[in-house]
Amino acid sequence: MRAPLATLGLAVAALALAGCGAGRGAAPNTVPRPAAGVSDAVTERIARAEALLQEGLGSLRQGHVNAARERFDAAVEAYLEAPGGAYSDPRLAESYRRTLEAVHVAEVEALAQGQGLGETGLEPALIDEVGDLPIAAGASEEVRRTAEAAVAEETNDFPVELNDRVLASIELYQGRLRDWFAEALARGGRYLPFIREVFAREGIPQDLAYVALVESAFKTSAYSRARARGVWQFIPATGKRFGLQQDWWVDERSDPKKATEAAARYLKALYEQFGDWNLALAAYNAGEGRVARGLKKYGVRDFWSLAQTRGLFRETKNYVPLIHAAIVVAKAPERYGFQVTPDDPLRYERVAVEGAVDLRTIAECAGTELETVRQLNPELRRMATPANRTFEVRVPEGNGAVAKTCLDALPADQRLRFRTHTVARGQTLSTIGRKYGLTASDLAAANGISVRRLLRIGQELIVPYEPPQRSASTRAARGPRPTAPRVETREDAVRLSYRIKRGDTLSGIASQYGTTVKAIQSWNGLRGTRLAVGQVLTLYTGRRN
């Protein structure tokens, strides 16, 4: 086993932790090509190494961390095992240099993106735009006739109105919002069977499953300007009121199952309060207080009368007609010119995961792609399971047993790599946060503790982001520090990365890799000898074991 290979694996692991985007962003390994018809051992070796590198980048695009690392290590091994070494032939040396550079570029981009603990992407909830659209006072006679025929033939458990505002909303879905509606209806296939089941159990009209279409277009990642989140668009306070956990690691407002159960309880409570489903829907959008005050102030008893007053915002006045229209169109989309193939319902198994494990590693263990794991676990705010508890992660149906076996056997250094900090005497969350460029609340949230909690000496904290002073991209942009001594590296040196473990010192690392403390300081822009667990150092060595 060659020491450079093992440690290069650590560099590639850091690359992979920033996600498949790093693989896409890396510079291609373009190597000099021999003349047409020329074939020799060097050419074949370069081609084999290039194929391994591309396989590794392909694995990264799928989120398969370990497979990518194996391919990258094998690519480097192909050069190192050449007769006479990687620099025995000019073409081989150039290809080897470009391979290492491709990995280095990807690693720099990966470090700039963080260690996989940044919050996963959210997208604007279209209810913000749809709710503000002007809805015309009426619609065409054709729309009216089509809607009346559809409602007469369909079985509805919700009393649909076909007034001018509802008909105008139907026309809006057929026109300006046509693509949006079709995509939302197709996406709803993943969740509608379960939503109907929950609503039937709770005694709620199953047609109200389409409230989620208007709220979020059935997107678990939807996030509104009111800080509402998920398929059912719960704001933080209402989510907590109905039992949806929200912390640094998890936000159950994005869990379609738990959020649906919470939405059913909330809608049921609103109906019990107002005795009318339209008023209950208005309250779901605007809050029960506003609806109650509007009814009292204007002396009306139903939504349609209240909508004629100034007691509701335009969004809420639009919201209820849009739901009526969504029910009408969604139950007979072909009548309105829609050809929709619903997505298949999500089918999965649960696997208990103890502590933080990168979702890319889970995807690889489950034999699936990263995007599938993210789609099945949208409540995870990070690219990892929670570090401070057991989490039941969902994997595709039929893959649970193999995923469990793989995850149970996973070495600690392949679960999730993030920095830790051991609390010293006199340190607080604020002082530790300043050291790493974080706020006290960031640190508290990442560790599941109160920001006011006193820390004990020796306590280990998770530090979720790379400190700014260690960002490889920042160092590359600024160049070497002028006060650091410059140390030249040998032409045949191999670049590798080393992650600091508890008890490591610069002198010990220098001795292990046949270099000097001064050289390591120069390569990494270090002023002193202080190291932090989890810190990544760049080393150059030609040493082999």
pLDDT tens digits for 237-295? 999 999 999 987 899 999 999 999 999 999 999 999 999 999 999 999 999 999 999 99
Radius of gyration for the alpha carbons in the chain, expressed in angstroms and rounded:
29
CATH number of 123-245+255-336: 1.10.530.10
Region of residue 355 (phi > 0: left; psi between -120 and 50: alpha; otherwise: beta): left
Torsion of CA 241, 245, 248, 253, to 10 degrees: -80
CB atoms < 10 A from the CB of 74, how many? Answer: 17
**Is the pLDDT assigned to residue 481 strictly greater than 60?**
no
- List pLDDT tens digits, range 140-186: 889 999 999 989 988 889 999 999 999 999 999 999 999 999 999 99
What are the structure tokens assigned to 495, written together?
A: 């670049």
pLDDT in tens, 210-221: 999 999 999 999
| 366, pLDDT greater than 80 | yes
On whether the CB atoms of residues 101 and 27 are closer than 8 A, the answer is yes
DSSP state of 229: B
The two tokens of residue 119 are 């919050």
Please, is 35 exposed, middle or buried when counting C-beta atoms within 10 Å of its C-beta (0-12, 13-18, 19+)? exposed
Contact present, 437 and 465 (Cβ < 8 Å): yes
Structure tokens at 453: 């909690």
| Nearest one of 432, 426, 469 to 451, comparing CA atoms | 432
Who contacts 309 (Cβ-Cβ below 8 Å, separation ≥6)? 294, 297, 298, 300
Closest CA to 244 of 231, 262, 221: 262
CA 129 to chain centre: 24
How far apart CA 521 and CA 516 sit, in angstroms, is 9
What are the CA-CA distances from residue 492 to residues 27, 29, 88, 440 (Å)?
A: 22, 19, 10, 45
As beta bridge partners, residue 536 has 499
Q: To the nearest 5 percent, what fractions of the chain are helix, strand and coil?
A: 55, 10, 40
Residue ranges matching CATH 1.10.530.10 in the chain:
123-245+255-336
Residue 335 has pLDDT above 90, yes or no: yes
Q: Which among 105-114, 262-271, 386-395, 422-431 has the top mean pLDDT?
A: 262-271
CA-nearest of 260, 277, 285 to 327 is 277
Q: Using CA atoms, how far apart are residues 382 and 464, in angstroms rounded to an integer? A: 10
Q: Which helix (H) or strand (E) holds 268?
A: helix 256-274
Determine the 3-state secondary structure of 425 from DSSP: coil
Q: What percent of the chain has pLDDT over 70?
A: 77
Q: CA separation (Å) from 117 to 121, 362, 399, 531, 541?
A: 12, 15, 25, 22, 31
- Which residues, in sequence order, are CB contacts of 542 under 8 Å at separation 6+? 490, 492, 493, 494
What letters, b where the CB count within 10 A reaches 16 and e where it falls short, cover 322-343? bbbbbbbbbbbbeebebebeee
Q: How many CA atoms lie within 13 A of 21 on its CB side?
A: 11
Max CA distance (Å), the chain: 93
Type of residue found at 262: A
422 sits in which H/E element? strand 419-422
pLDDT at site 323 = 97
Mean pLDDT taken over the chain: 79
pTM of the model: 0.63
